[in-house]
Structure 1
């Protein structure tokens, strides 16, 4: 398996500031690997919420994560303010592949990057559903070729 090259900030159309918390550090003195997934999820959902494309309490459509991965290049630690870059690599009728990267301070290259796939489903039946127009419009702003 070939190790990927770290992406740059310019590769991502949306950047979400993410301060680390004391609880993010593990016993080895850096942000624990599982915490990056929370950063990813927070950045995507903050973007969607700010654009009116996600109603976490009453929306009829919700996103379920069905796949995820992350590659780590350099450690981050509390207290740092990180930036999470977000882009959409694939947009289907009911699913989205988000690609994300975490940047430290003013670093131009990612200290970690990964992806996750959301399948959007009906809140109650949990069956896949077509993406609502407002969600499609918000996601179009993140698409890269």
Structure 2
């Protein structure tokens, strides 16, 4: 298996800076793995909410996470700031694959790079459905 390399910050069309919290650290003094995934989830939903295409309480069509993965390159911990880079690498009929990278403070190489897949479903039936046009437009802005 070929060793992966960290991504560069310039490869991401959307960057959101988020702080770490004291409770994010684990007993080894760095950010717990589950917190990396929380950053992934937060940046995706922040993008959708800020673009007016997700109302977490009322949207008829919602994206459910069906797959995640993360490759770790270097540690992040409190009190670091995290620049979260986000891009869409695949935009299908009912699914979208995001690539998300976490950059520690002012670093230009990622500390971690992950994938995050949403499948869009009708909230009532929980069955896959086509990504709504407004959501697709918001995702197209960050598609590479």
> TM-score band, normalised by the shorter chain?
over 0.9
Question: Which residue number in structure 1 is paired with residue 12 of structure 2?
Answer: 12
Q: CA RMSD in A?
A: 0.7
Question: Which residue number in structure 2 is paired with residue 109 of structure 1?
Answer: 109
**Distance in 1, Cα, partners of 2:3 & 2:42:** 26
Question: Which residue number in structure 2 is paired with residue 84 of structure 1?
Answer: 84
**Distance in 2, Cα, partners of 1:86 & 1:53:** 17
1:107-130 Cα deviation digits (max 9, x unpaired): 100000010110010011100011
SS at match of 1:17: strand
**Distance in 2, Cα, partners of 1:41 & 1:83:** 14
SS at match of 1:28: coil
Structure 2 counterparts to residues 1-145 of structure 1, below 5 A: 1-144=1-144
SS at match of 2:38: helix
- Taking structure 2 as the reference length, the TM-score comes to 0.98
- Taking structure 1 as the reference length, the TM-score comes to 0.97
- Following superposition, the deviation at residue 34 of structure 1 comes to 1.3
1:52-94 Cα deviation digits (max 9, x unpaired): 1111110001111111100000001001110110000000010
**Distance in 1, Cα, partners of 2:132 & 2:37:** 25
| Structure 2 unpaired stretches of 5+ | none
- The aligned length equals 144
| Structure 1 unpaired stretches of 5+ | none
**Distance in 1, Cα, partners of 2:23 & 2:39:** 13
**Distance in 2, Cα, partners of 1:17 & 1:42:** 11
